Amino acid sequence: MSIARRRFAAEGTIAPTLDEVRREAEVSVGSLYHHFPDKAALAAAVYAQIMAEYQDGFLAMLRDQATAEDGIRGGVRNHLNWVAAHRGEAVLLLGDRRDSAELAESNRNFFAAIRDWWRPHHTYGALVALRPGVTAALWLGPAQEYARYWVSGGVGGMEDDVVETFADAAWKALQARPIEE
């Protein structure tokens, strides 16, 4: 799968043929088709693998944060820094979603861990209530759109001040507001 991952990250999922990937990986036709009946299945497996690695890194970063603010800001930094370090793989993840059982399982585990991290920070009043779609959009949505722009070549480097702009915005959107009397 590493050959497919490298080729898909460099060329997209359409350009390399299944036979090219098979030959480069030096596996038999039967062996490849035993695991992946077509290129779509191979692409879905690569997508799930990359997403799981991204999610593992995100959660590791999140667990290391001392405060809710550090976690929210760190999530944005982690996301944009990962995109900058993994441009080709980021293009795959930012493109068409490729569903699979592996991806569904990885997502279930990831979002359960996010809920577990979020809950105490909300309970003691640091974060707004977790509303999955809304929270994800506020936390990473603007950074995600910037990442799409960045990987398309819209700008040169992933500038630190830009990363901090999105980290600031996410924290402002997700921090709990004191109750006014």
Terminal Cα-to-Cα distance of the chain (whole angstroms): 59
On whether residue 138 sits in a domain, the answer given is yes
On whether residue 113 sits in a domain, the answer given is yes
> What is the model's pLDDT at position 100?
94
> What is the model's pLDDT at position 158?
86
Q: Is 136 exposed, middle or buried (0-12, 13-18, 19+ CB in 10 A)?
A: middle
On whether residue 17 sits in a domain, the answer given is no
Which residues face 175 on adjacent strands?
127
What's the structural domain count of the chain? 1
CATH number at residue 78: 1.10.357.10
Q: Given a cut of 80, is residue 156 above it in pLDDT? A: no
pLDDT tier at 181, thresholds 50, 70, 90: low
On whether residue 50 sits in a domain, the answer given is yes
On whether residue 127 sits in a domain, the answer given is yes
pLDDT tier at 15, thresholds 50, 70, 90: confident
More confident residue, 105 or 178: 105
Q: Find the domain containing 83 and state its range.
A: 44-174
As a whole number, the mean pLDDT across the chain is: 92
On whether residue 157 sits in a domain, the answer given is yes
Q: If you ran DSSP here, which 8-state letter would residue 127 be given? A: B
